[in-house]
Amino acid sequence: MEAFSANLGNRRIEVVRGDIVKERVDAIVNAANSTLLGGGGVDGAIHRAAGPDLLEECRGLDGCGTGDAKITRGYRLSARFVIHAVGPIYRGGQEGEAQLLDATYRRCMVIAAEHRLQSLAFPAISTGAYGYPRREAAGIAFRRLLQELRSETTVERVRYVLFDASAFETHEEVLRELLTKRS
Ligand code: AR6
């Protein structure tokens, strides 16, 4: 399997190629929209795999703002929880997209710590239907995740799951670059 991982003290970040719905972690993150009522891409796959009870719980959440996230149970998934995160729609980069994407990852990590979760799996939020340029989004995601993993948190393991080979390659490259810059 294609995978790249790095240890940060007793914490770990892993970039892997695969299908996020199969991840055996405390929570998988969903790239949702602000209705939280399902959609295509990762969102559709997660709802299909979790079953209808997930949608039922989501109906009670009253949506979610861009840059924010909300947690539900995982139902039929291997993961106990789903953190539904709403990344920004990319509109050229001058509309606060970078700050919003960073906030989305930060909120997921805060919610995970509040629930004392130890392992998380993320998809590449906003890089599909929402059109965020992949390399730029990867830099924002990994800078935030590395910072959070180097801070006080219950999260010990972050897996970053890419569906296709070229997305995996780009993400591996970006993470390697960030790790080299720092050391
Ligand atoms: N596992 C891992 N990654 C996946 C999977 C999977 N099963 N399926 C797709 N990807 P997207 P967004 C990748 O469009 O850009 C939905 O309709 C995909 O290749 O799922 O945040 C929501 O309801 C891409 O790289 O999320 C929203 O309306 C990445 O996941 C909207 O799309 C994200 O693509 C959110 O758009």
pTM of the model: 0.98
On the CB side of 44, CA atoms within 13 Å amount to 5
Fold of 3-182: Leucine Aminopeptidase, subunit E; domain 1 (3.40.220)
CA atoms of 153 and 160, how far apart (whole Å) = 18
| Dist. CA 108 → ligand 1 center (Å) | 16
Per-residue pLDDT of 103-145, as tens digits, reads 999 999 999 999 999 999 999 999 999 999 999 999 999 999 9
Q: Is 63 in the pocket of ligand 1 (CB under 6 A)?
A: no
Kindly provide the b/e burial profile for residues 167-179, where b requires at least 16 CB atoms within 10 angstroms of the residue's own CB: bbebbbebbeebe
Beta carbon of 121 within 6 Å of any ligand 1 atom: no
- pLDDT for 1 equals 62
Residue 3's pLDDT band, with cuts at 50, 70 and 90, is: very high
Residue 33 Cβ < 6 Å to ligand 1? yes
Tell me what pLDDT residue 183 has. Answer: 55
pLDDT of 23 reads 98
**Ligand 1 atom at shortest distance from the alpha carbon of 41:** 20
Q: 27-31 and 69-73: which strand pairing?
A: unpaired
CA R_g for the chain: 15
Point out the ligand 1 atom lying closest to the alpha carbon of residue 46: 7
Question: Other CB atoms closer than 10 Å to residue 9's CB: what's the count?
Answer: 8
